[in-house]
Structure 1
Amino acid sequence: MEAANSIRFRNALVFLRHQLRSTYACRPRHQQQCRTNVNSSDSPVKKNFSKDTVAKFINQGIGDMKNITHPTPGLLQTLEDRGFLGQFHGNRQEFTKLTNGEVIHIYAGADATASSLHIGHLMVLMPMIHCMLHGHRISLVVGIATARIGDPSGRLTERTGMRDRQLGERTFRFGTDITQQLSSLLKSAINYARERGYEEKNIGRRHIASNLQWHRNVSIIDFMQIVGHRSRIGEMMLRKSVSERLKSEEGISFSEFSYQLIQAMDYWHLFSNLGVRLQIGGSDQWGNITAGCDLINRMVNEAAWVDEQPTPALIKNMAKPYGLTVPLLTTSSGEKFSKSTGGGNIWLSASKTPPFTLYQYLLNRPDDVMEQWLKYFTLLPMETINEIITEQKEHPERRPAQKKLAYEVVSLLHGTARANKCVKTTAIFFGQTDEPNGLEKREETLKLGLTKSDVEGISSRFFWEPVLAINVIGMPLEKALVAGGVAPSNSQARTLLKSGAISIGPHLRQIKLTNETIILSEEDLIDEKILLIKVGKNKLHVMRMEDKNTMKQAIAEKQDPEEATRDSEPKPVPQTRLQRKRLARNVKKAATVQRKARREQSNKTSKAFQYEKQVAREQPMGRQEFDSLVEKALDRTEKKSTSWISRAATGIQFSGMKVSKKSDEQE
């Protein structure tokens, strides 16, 4: 009996999805028919079905919902135990019953306002991963279209660069980067979960999309007909993201004011096309989430054909949207992690924040956030987390919670191999290891000397400080400390050296300055180019020796690592027919531009030559001036000048540009 009700329950959603489907994103552009009204007479779907047809449709099921697996119960309880459950839109008891018996579709979005996500986004991504591991379907939406509008939530001023002419190109490029990052993150998360004991057969399906796919096909008239007249200004004004901006000095622009409607359109599209029932977002997204839920409720209530069906109550029950917000991750000063502030300069991209930097950041977090961060950012069972926190309280000097957190997060984002590399590198440089005989192994490694591969485990090329070699090699060590940004002045550099806080070189030789001057030599370099400086117990500085020819490029890479990374990556080989056509079109366009530039340069040269000829006709010149003019002209046209010189030697007389030949007797 329960199985029969379960089938009816989930297939009623399929029925509703097929009836409310928006067709504007599913057809070619020349055949678009935007569903502006669910009651319109020209609706592309059938309005009424016979009772037998509906019963057969719901009882037997269709499409991809036939073979769907049953989820793992307890999703909402898991999110609540880990502290992810904030505000909830809808009936929690009904939602708990729904998720325990049926696979639902859940979505979360992130705007492409930067080339990478940051650690604050894990507060939304981790609940999505938990939903996937419970067997539910998830969709991650990259907001390329919404990024061009600008979300006012949690901001007192408008985003910088929103009026830039290259905004569209920048957001599209950022969207591509974030899409690739999310795809890699989900694969790494599945491998991470498999290693932690999760069964792969219980993992739900995942999907990544961009909202530009459907927004690009909707005109402003269609948007106003679908969303505009179903939204109320009073409700929009009361939402926190709008009311706070209205109180500020800058106010709010109309584009930012309409952002909640565009995000509501995203929810409606995903609901009507993919059957999405739940949206997850940060606590600052509550107004945008409720706007989407209100739009879906109004669209369904306006559909008169639902009441004409044999089971209207069951169909309307399937149309209940839900929303969930999670707490925001804040910095030590209470400020929200955001892409515009660099997420505390902790990015999820390995090219922007190396795994070792992320590992050290988490390793140095205070004790009071360890329990909550272990629940947030790891998939460890709650019993294991409680054991770690108990050990942390008994032996705080060992820092077991920080070590476990750092290892688990790096494993989740970058894989177990890189996490093990971070543990090994930390043991070498800082002596922090729980491995038996770990300190003895460290001494043996330092005795042999560090290599380039050991330093590459610290950071990528673009995080090294470029230094001109001739300015520091053979000079006092204080100059190297100032040039590499270790100390702001020579006096403070000498203070560090006298205190014994500085260790340099492949053997991490400790320096303690007395009265003598210590000269930096090439023996202190690793691989003859890298200078490693350790300050205190847990700070490292890496400098790379450059010459005059490479210094300019190194500074450019340091200032713009994203562009340098993009330029250093190999160009992808076109695989599909569309990619090959696009590549051929770009090559043809570049050739046309070059040909046009050559034509303009040729015309410019020709005009200059004609002008010189005109001046020569009007103003007579001497023999020497004319010879110089002829040589210039011959150089431009790449002709030999021997014939002109021979003619001049045989008695050609010049008068301006007129040429007359005299006989030898007259000469």
Structure 2
Amino acid sequence: MEAANSLRFRNALVFLRHQLRSTYAFNPRHQQQCRTNVNTTESPIKKNFAKECIAKFINQGYGDMKNIPRPTPGLLETLEERGFVGQFHGNREEFTTLTNNEVIHIYAGADATASSLHIGHLMVLMPMIHSMLHGHRISLIVGVATARIGDPSGRLTERTGMKDQSLGERTFRHGTDITDQLSTLLKTVINHARERGHQESKIGRRAISSNLQWHRNVSIIDFMQIVGHRSRIGEMMLRKSVSERLKSEEGLSFSEFSYQLIQALDYWHLFSNLGVRLQIGGSDQWGNITAGCDLINRMVNEAAWIDEQPSPALIKNMAKPYGLTVPLLTTSTGEKFSKSTGAGNIWISPRKTPPFSLYQYLLNRPDNIMESWLKYFTLLPISEIKEIMAEQKKHPERRPAQKKLAYELISLLHGRLVALKCIETTAIFFGQTDEADGIQKREAKLKLGLTKSDVEGISARPFWEPVNAERIMGMPLEKALAAGGVAPSNTQARTLLKSGAVSIGPHLRQVKLTDEKTILTQEDLIDGNILLIKVGKNKLHVIRVEDEKTIELAMQEKEDPESALKPTKPGPITPLQRRSARKKERRINVGVRANRRSEQKKITKLLDREGQVARTKLAGRGDFSGLVSKAVNRAASQRIPDNQTQPSISWRR
């Protein structure tokens, strides 16, 4: 009986371990990604504020790709002037003095709940970009770990799919996509900033990482020792994200309730290991940001070694965390731009929202938001924005603000050449051009005929519709309009054609029906299978004409265009092919793990070397008390009124 119970208990443990791995591991072959650190007494996250951590706050610019001795002053003033500053945690005067004299480290995060960021995320990314252009260090954290918990901020219900077994695999895949997207975006931003006159030598260092790197090795005991003992239920209950959910019908799960503590642990880890001083987030993140600041303050106040130093107030002032929230971007109905609320359908990824679509979306924004959006989403000087708005008031029909916003934002996200292509495409399809000979160029282009490359910018989802060729070719044109979703029925399509508002084909010839029906022929198609339909002045429809063999594949591409961009080879059929494929996969996995270990060793050596330099060359070879005494003497030499708080001191030699 005891043997049976023992076997049953062992089987239960094996089943539980399998369930945890299938839930949180992105790939069963890579279990090292989700191992817990159960065989060691050391946590990957510091459990206290150690004396060595203070070296991270000494000259943040040292050891960077760009060694910036002094940042460009006026960071907080720039953010306030552009409307980015909502709530601020900490002393503003101290922070202004700090950022004007020292390079600091700033971070912002975005959970990997979708495969792409949307336009609402730019409200947080743009302040980070301005901070980088002022010479400060920035870290963009992709929340692969926190996406598996679910942030309750600004939500009345729990996120869908939080209990799925594929949650770990999905968040890891999304995190990889967002990391690649942010990497490409920062490169484009730097090129854009260089074109706008920013000196590359004054641009700060940037880094992108995932919080799964440290969360995957934190046990529940470590989490409780670091965060649990220093958190108070009363303070957590008073936060808006918690109180509002408790009043809802669904209530609040414990995992969502603990989300603010997990994000606070992110801030503490980045603070103690990288010297991060400021966290930026949306206004709905205020409770999570203050939770991190409170955790850091308690850690610093518990450090007994600080009180033993000659000037403990100076050290505590150096280790003060700050928090800043930005306003949320909302739609015309006041709804937040979000992936889950349905308003976040304007994506940054060109695969999900083509640049041409984003360009047209920006051209159609109302006049009353133009000034604020130009400040938010461009790097234009404020003086130039005022000149644009003055011209907008004089000639609103020309829409100069919308055109400038669309060009600048497309250049920032996708590059100048893509923005120029959007302008050219808009001139061809809609005749909207500011060039003197723009109309003549358009007529010459249409006379030659549009090609597939001219339609590529608008041919991604949701702009094209696959239709079986047998349903429309050789048939009246109204059937093509109904099949492609241009009109809901044949009758309404015929009424639309009779009004003369429809143009089709490579030459955009106008079709106006009288009593005779127009038959769709091969001459009306572009490149043999693309039917371009223009309705009115600013509506375009693209129909892909497919044969019976390719219509099913085209429908799948319509549903999921991202998978269509990665064509898959047919899988192995015979047992010999399957064995060969498994051997090949094992060889690839071994190589990947070896490269990962090699890169980890390089990073560890680099961090150790930077830490050694920070403790020796930068801080001097004397003991720590000597370092503090030098800073005290340096602070005493500055004239600071007695009624003001002592600012942070630059530790550069």
- Give the 5 Å matches for 1:300-319: 300-319=300-319
Once the two structures are TM-superposed, the CA of residue 534 in structure 1 deviates from its matched residue by 0.3
Once the two structures are TM-superposed, the CA of residue 272 in structure 1 deviates from its matched residue by 0.2
**Which of 560, 583, 586 matches 1:584?**
586
Are 2:116 and 1:116 aligned?
Answer: yes
- Give the Cα separation in 1 of the matches to 2:525 and 2:239: 59
- Give the Cα separation in 2 of the matches to 1:411 and 1:354: 13
Aligned to 1:352, the other structure's residue is in SS state: coil
- Give the Cα separation in 2 of the matches to 1:337 and 1:426: 26
Are 2:497 and 1:501 aligned?
Answer: no
- Give the Cα separation in 1 of the matches to 2:533 and 2:177: 33
Once the two structures are TM-superposed, the CA of residue 564 in structure 1 deviates from its matched residue by 2.2
Which structure ranks higher in relative contact order (CA pairs < 8 Å, sequence separation ≥ 6)?
Answer: 2
Matched-pair contact (CA < 8 Å) for 1:293–1:323 = yes
Which AA in structure 2 matches 1:445?
Answer: K
- Give the Cα separation in 2 of the matches to 1:63 and 1:445: 55
- The number of equivalent residue pairs is 542
Which AA in structure 2 matches 1:259?
Answer: Y
Find the counterpart in structure 2 of residue 483 from structure 1.
Answer: 483
Are 2:325 and 1:325 aligned?
Answer: yes
Which AA in structure 2 matches 1:492?
Answer: Q
Find the counterpart in structure 1 of residue 290 from structure 2.
Answer: 290
Identity of aligned residues (%): 76
Find the counterpart in structure 1 of residue 106 from structure 2.
Answer: 106
Does the C-alpha gap of structure 1 residues 287 and 215 become closer, same or farther in structure 2, counting only changes over 3 Å? same
Matched-pair contact (CA < 8 Å) for 1:425–1:458 = no
- Unaligned regions of 5+ residues in structure 2, if any? 1-33, 570-581, 591-653
- Give the Cα separation in 1 of the matches to 2:71 and 2:551: 57
Which AA in structure 2 matches 1:443?
Answer: E
- Give the Cα separation in 1 of the matches to 2:468 and 2:412: 38
Which AA in structure 2 matches 1:196?
Answer: R
- Give the Cα separation in 2 of the matches to 1:61 and 1:104: 6
Once the two structures are TM-superposed, the CA of residue 499 in structure 1 deviates from its matched residue by 1.1
Once the two structures are TM-superposed, the CA of residue 332 in structure 1 deviates from its matched residue by 1.1
Find the counterpart in structure 2 of residue 38 from structure 1.
Answer: 48
Which AA in structure 2 matches 1:555?
Answer: M
Does the C-alpha gap of structure 1 residues 333 and 57 become closer, same or farther in structure 2, counting only changes over 3 Å? closer
Find the counterpart in structure 2 of residue 4 from structure 1.
Answer: none
- Give the Cα separation in 2 of the matches to 1:239 and 1:58: 30
Find the counterpart in structure 1 of residue 537 from structure 2.
Answer: 537
Does the C-alpha gap of structure 1 residues 67 and 126 become closer, same or farther in structure 2, counting only changes over 3 Å? closer
- Give the 5 Å matches for 1:447-458: 447-458=447-458
Once the two structures are TM-superposed, the CA of residue 519 in structure 1 deviates from its matched residue by 0.8
Aligned to 1:338, the other structure's residue is in SS state: coil
Find the counterpart in structure 1 of residue 470 from structure 2.
Answer: 470
- Give the Cα separation in 2 of the matches to 1:424 and 1:59: 50
Find the counterpart in structure 2 of residue 9 from structure 1.
Answer: none
Once the two structures are TM-superposed, the CA of residue 28 in structure 1 deviates from its matched residue by 9.1
Aligned to 2:145, the other structure's residue is in SS state: helix
Does the C-alpha gap of structure 1 residues 367 and 421 become closer, same or farther in structure 2, counting only changes over 3 Å? same
- Give the Cα separation in 1 of the matches to 2:499 and 2:121: 41
Which AA in structure 2 matches 1:520?
Answer: L
Find the counterpart in structure 1 of residue 15 from structure 2.
Answer: none
Find the counterpart in structure 2 of residue 64 from structure 1.
Answer: 63
Question: Normalising by structure 2, what TM-score?
Answer: 0.79
Aligned to 1:162, the other structure's residue is in SS state: coil
Are 2:256 and 1:250 aligned?
Answer: no
- Give the Cα separation in 1 of the matches to 2:367 and 2:486: 28
Which AA in structure 2 matches 1:84?
Answer: F
Matched-pair contact (CA < 8 Å) for 2:60–2:103 = no
Which AA in structure 2 matches 1:361?
Answer: Y
Find the counterpart in structure 2 of residue 425 from structure 1.
Answer: 425
- Give the Cα separation in 1 of the matches to 2:95 and 2:190: 26
Q: Deviations over 1:46-92 (max 9, x none)?
A: 89xxxxxx9x9999999638954210000000000100010000000
Which AA in structure 1 matches 2:388?
Answer: I
- Give the Cα separation in 1 of the matches to 2:499 and 2:383: 45
Matched-pair contact (CA < 8 Å) for 2:352–2:461 = no
- Unaligned regions of 5+ residues in structure 1, if any? 1-24, 48-53, 570-579, 589-667
Find the counterpart in structure 2 of residue 383 from structure 1.
Answer: 383
- Give the Cα separation in 2 of the matches to 1:125 and 1:159: 23
Aligned to 2:83, the other structure's residue is in SS state: coil
Query: Rg: which structure is higher?
Result: 1
Matched-pair contact (CA < 8 Å) for 2:433–2:439 = yes
- Give the 5 Å matches for 1:556-571: 556-567=556-567
Find the counterpart in structure 2 of residue 236 from structure 1.
Answer: 236
- Give the Cα separation in 2 of the matches to 1:195 and 1:102: 26
Find the counterpart in structure 1 of residue 358 from structure 2.
Answer: 358
Which AA in structure 2 matches 1:33?
Answer: E
- Give the Cα separation in 2 of the matches to 1:397 and 1:147: 45
Does the C-alpha gap of structure 1 residues 207 and 477 become closer, same or farther in structure 2, counting only changes over 3 Å? same
Does the C-alpha gap of structure 1 residues 410 and 67 become closer, same or farther in structure 2, counting only changes over 3 Å? closer
Find the counterpart in structure 1 of residue 446 from structure 2.
Answer: 446
Aligned to 1:344, the other structure's residue is in SS state: coil
- Give the Cα separation in 2 of the matches to 1:412 and 1:568: 33
Are 2:373 and 1:373 aligned?
Answer: yes
Q: Deviations over 1:161-181 (max 9, x none)?
A: 000000000000000000000
Which AA in structure 1 matches 2:95?
Answer: F
- Give the Cα separation in 2 of the matches to 1:57 and 1:369: 41
Aligned to 1:514, the other structure's residue is in SS state: coil
Which AA in structure 2 matches 1:264?
Answer: A
Once the two structures are TM-superposed, the CA of residue 355 in structure 1 deviates from its matched residue by 0.6
Once the two structures are TM-superposed, the CA of residue 511 in structure 1 deviates from its matched residue by 1.1
- Give the Cα separation in 1 of the matches to 2:449 and 2:305: 78
Matched-pair contact (CA < 8 Å) for 2:37–2:217 = no
- Give the 5 Å matches for 1:23-172: 33-34=42-43, 37-38=47-48, 64=63, 68-172=68-172
Aligned to 1:339, the other structure's residue is in SS state: coil
Matched-pair contact (CA < 8 Å) for 1:36–1:222 = no
Once the two structures are TM-superposed, the CA of residue 341 in structure 1 deviates from its matched residue by 3.8
- Give the Cα separation in 1 of the matches to 2:164 and 2:587: 26
- Give the Cα separation in 2 of the matches to 1:407 and 1:459: 20
Once the two structures are TM-superposed, the CA of residue 491 in structure 1 deviates from its matched residue by 1.4
Q: Deviations over 1:607-648 (max 9, x none)?
A: xxxxxxxxxxxxxxxxxxxxxxxxxxxxxxxxxxxxxxxxxx
Question: Normalising by structure 1, what TM-score?
Answer: 0.78
- Give the Cα separation in 1 of the matches to 2:57 and 2:507: 73
Once the two structures are TM-superposed, the CA of residue 432 in structure 1 deviates from its matched residue by 0.2
- Give the Cα separation in 2 of the matches to 1:243 and 1:255: 15
Q: Deviations over 1:186-225 (max 9, x none)?
A: 0000000000111111100001010000001100111011
- Give the Cα separation in 2 of the matches to 1:504 and 1:586: 50
- Give the Cα separation in 1 of the matches to 2:424 and 2:87: 42
Find the counterpart in structure 2 of residue 20 from structure 1.
Answer: none
Once the two structures are TM-superposed, the CA of residue 459 in structure 1 deviates from its matched residue by 3.1
